[in-house]
Structure 1
């Protein structure tokens, strides 16, 4: 019997690509006096390229931007602090996020989250999405001292939920850090399809979060 569903955050519950576009466009507008020599589209496009879907931390991104665009009136540290402060105001959920979580909770399933990233930054984003209270445990790599794809962080979450790998399903968008890592930890895994990747070795695939509750039932033979 499936007793718990665990999730990744970025690219799975949080539409990070859209969120980044919003926060960087907002940053450009608020600091136009500093960035006016750079076209808005050029600034946002270059940020997204350097960010590499979040796998390059923003200190490196802003150092590169300041150098490339010869920005003189604001430091990269200032841009980074601005990003960290304002990102939570631009968080975009994937469609049907709250409805999906409510449905899973109504089925008496425990919910967990495992996300890589900076602790308070990620927690602020989780709160901004309005989903924190749906989760029985939330593990963020900086605070845990372990990050995906290390199987230890998956096992730690399962221990906190007091469920076995066989009683749990993991949902994520990254073929290695989410899908393969969760499978190595002994869990069933559902891939939240992401066009950035050609595919993933998952037990099932979803394109919309609303599909998830039925797949969880299917994973346990439709019985609860």
Structure 2
């Protein structure tokens, strides 16, 4: 089903275009070597990923601060592995992670081709809850920054997706009407339901183990987006 009358396409960044899991793993490998953290990286990531996911949910709901997220996800991961790390070490790793993360530039399969194709017809934009100091660096280093006319971050908007105010801010910046806009993202609540409630069309990018029954169009690969646009 192709969407008609669309002029603006809004994307989430992490896990939608930018391969967060792969780039994050590479950053941790480098940091652990630097800090001489003797933990198997695969063991660490197996523990860290669900903890990090939970902290981002808390952050999105304003239940923890940015600083709490950066420290807490590492502290809980090390504690789960029974690895003793002092606060100084944890804070150093947290700082290094923000510095190293954008140095890796892997994109999800098909991202460049899809963006190149869509940019010929539509105006492209980013709406992200990610930290403002790293999101633009991620896009620049991965070669996708020039595809986008606007970037709206949660820190700029003062609220996080799915709050309607961030979508209102993004539409104002892009001079877009919600009924002529579509949002693509990997988080059903933050990206899809949030955008839909504000009047945008929404397409859910799910992984094979996330497929769910809902009223929104679902894709599992970015190239499938071209069936709608």
Equivalent pair of 2:157/2:165 in contact (CA under 8 Å): no
Shift of 1:73: 9.8
Matched, 1:164 2:168: no
Match of 2:158 in 1: 145
Instruction: Name the counterpart of 2:120.
Output: 106
Report the Cα distance in structure 1 between the residues aligned to 2:110 and 2:207, rounded to whole angstroms: 16
Counterpart CA distance in 2 for 1:200 and 1:114 is: 24
Q: Whole-Å Cα distance in 1 between the matches of residues 9 and 213 of structure 2?
A: 19
Select the residue among 65, 69, 74 that pairs with 1:62.
74
For structure 2, list consecutive stretches of 5 or more residues without a partner in the other structure: 59-68
Q: Residues 125-145 of structure 1: CA distance to partner in whole angstroms, max 9, x if unpaired?
A: 122221111111100111221
Question: Post-superposition shift, 1:66?
Answer: 5.1
SS of corresponding position for 1:186: coil
In the other structure, the counterpart of 1:23 is: 27
> Which residue of structure 1 aligns with residue 91 of structure 2?
77
Q: RMSD over aligned Cα, in angstroms?
A: 2.2
Distance 1:132 1:194, change over 3 A: same
CA deviation after TM superposition for structure 1 residue 74, in Å: 5.4
Offset of residue 195 of structure 1: 4.3
1:86 and 2:87 aligned:
no
Q: What is aligned with 2:49?
A: 48
Inter-CA distance 6–39: structure 2 relative to 1 (3 Å threshold): closer
Whether the 8 Å CA contact 1:16–1:91 is kept in 2: the answer is no
3-state SS, counterpart of residue 75 of structure 1: helix
Kept in 1: contact 2:208–2:220 (CA 8 A): no
**Structure 2: how far apart are the matches of 1:123 and 1:2?**
25
1:176 CA drift (Å): 0.6
Task: Indicate whether 1:201 and 2:214 are aligned.
Answer: yes
TM, length-normalised to structure 2: 0.83
Aligned pairs (5 A) from 1:202-217: 202-216=215-229
- Is the Cα contact below 8 Å between 2:157 and 2:169 reproduced in 1? no
Q: Using the alignment, how far apart are the partners of 2:88 and 2:207 within structure 1?
A: 35
**1:168-187 equivalence runs, <5 A:** 168-187=181-200
**What are the superposed Cα offsets for residues 195-223 of structure 1, whole Å, 9 maximum, x if unpaired?**
4634263532222212223312xxxxxxx
CA-to-aligned-CA distance 1:14-50 (integer Å, 9 cap, x gap): 1212222222222223333xx23x3343333332232
